[in-house]
Amino acid sequence: MPVNLAPLEADKLLPVQGVTLGIAEAGIKKAGRKDLLVMRLGDHARVAGVFTLNRFCAAPVTLCRQHLAGGKAIRALVVNTGNANAGTGEEGMKRARQTCTEVARLLQCGDDQVLPFSTGVILEPLPVDKIIAGLPAAVANLKEANWFDAAHAIMTTDIQPKALSKQMMLGGKTVTITGIAKGSGMIHPNMATMLGYVATDAAISQPLLDGLVKHAADQSFNCITVDGDTSTNDSFILIASGEAGAAEITDAASAEYATLRDAITEVSQVLAQAIVRDGEGATKFMTIAVEGGASTAECRQVAYAIAHSPLVKTAFFASDPNLGRILAAIGYAGITDLDVDKIRLYLGDVLVAENGGRAASYQEQDGQRIMKAPEITVRVNLGRGDAAATVWTCDFSYDYVKINAEYRS
């Protein structure tokens, strides 16, 4: 069961002016399941995205990159579940293009104004005929109030849908941000991928939006890990429709930019953390906060070494304050001039290790009390500087093995 992830309430999701969503059942993998989503964007909308760094990236990811680089205004997004269109070679590119062409025809825009996304089985041909057959129903369904259904339509093995809205005042106008995301492992066996879409009706210049999507991703989706694997299809898209009536933000030093940036980052963080909370087999949500580093990069390196260690993750599953495993992970994280005598390690607020060994004040029962909670913070001070980084992850349970070993059987 997801860790502290409240059921999604439809009436808490707010429409974003200038963004309509349409859902359909295209029967891509199974019948009777909403598996196709079209998002239509208004005339003033700007779009920016970040994508997987996996060299085996999927055809739709390649096409998204091309269309965004082309500089034409993006007018629609199309997302299918049930098939990732990854590892499908030139034929996969052709089918992703066919999908865009059909969306463009229905919405009367250019092919290169459409961004395609796929998630599902890898290495299987995309059933593009089913998608094309399902598109008219999705387009007929387009409306601003469809975020709740959209959050469901992009799910694969997610146990719960993930979505969030936030409102604030910006230049005297009410501005809305609504986001949805899916994913429960960094990569699923065949139901691949993390997808995130955050839309706002604020107006912002393209260069600032391009920077903002990277900032938000670096503080959210790039700080989570379930199993260390990186999908072929991971995508995070930020949409600014500009229809709230607020003045366009063009200055990165302005208060308005800071407000919007922080709100979008917060929505992205909650969505990213929801993916970890719904991680495959997760029973605990862990925050790994590394501080006192010489650089952010080395803090991330240490945080990921802890977050990726199967030994640490199984100890958390067992609620076992196994300090040796955490110290060992810090030790092999790759900081060659690390002085282990300067490191302080905390579980929650309890100092557990310092001076290269267990803290004199540490009592095993204090560690055990903290490890029994469903949310646990591991804090490491490297004693080398002022940099810090945080990573969120979940534990490693029997169910992780079960889910991933039995997926195709």
Q: Catalytic residue positions?
A: 193
Q: Which residues contact 158 (CB under 8 A, 6 or more apart)?
A: 182, 183, 184, 278
> In a 3-state reduction of DSSP, which class is residue 6?
coil
Residue 308's alpha-carbon distances to 237, 315, 380, in angstroms, are: 26, 12, 15
Residues 211-230 that bind its own copies (CB under 8 A): 227-230
Tell me the two tokens of residue 184. Answer: 């429960």
Site string for its own copies, 60-99 (x = CB under 8 A): ------------------------x-xxxx--x-------
- Least distance CB 20 / its own copies (angstroms): 33
Question: Which amino acid is it at 262?
Answer: D
Residue 388 and residue 381 in contact, taking contact as beta carbons nearer than 8 Å:
no
Instruction: Compute the least distance from the CB of residue 10 to its own copies, in Å.
Output: 33
Among residues 95, 162, 325, 379, the one that binds its own copies under rule CB under 8 A: 325
For its own copies, which stretch binds (CB under 8 A), given 132-140, 147-155, 189-197, 200-208?
189-197
- By CB under 8 A, is residue 409 in contact with its own copies? yes
Residue for token digits 């495959």? 280
Per CB under 8 A, does 338 bind its own copies? yes
Site for its own copies in 344-363 (CB under 8 A): 353, 355-358
Q: Are 241 and 51 in contact (CB under 8 A)?
A: no
Q: By rule CB under 8 A, what count of residues binds its own copies?
A: 66
Kindly state whether residue 324 participates in binding its own copies, applying the rule CB under 8 A.
yes
Pairing of strands 350-354, 344-347: antiparallel
Query: Applying CB under 8 A, does 400 fall inside the site for its own copies?
Result: yes
The nearer residue to its own copies, 189 or 211, going by C-beta atoms, is: 189
What whole-number distance in Å separates Cα of residue 3 and Cα of residue 228?
19
**114 to 153: interface string for its own copies, x by CB under 8 A:** -------xxx------------------------------
Could you identify the residue written with the tokens 């069961």? 1
Q: Kindly report the length of the chain.
A: 409
β partners of residue 287: 377, 392
Name the residue among 1, 2, 3 with its Cα closest to residue 375: 3
* Contact residues: its own copies, CB under 8 A: 53-57, 84, 86-89, 92, 121-123, 185, 187, 189-190, 192, 227-232, 308-311, 314-315, 317-318, 320, 322-325, 327-332, 335-336, 338, 340-341, 353, 355-358, 396-398, 400-402, 404-409
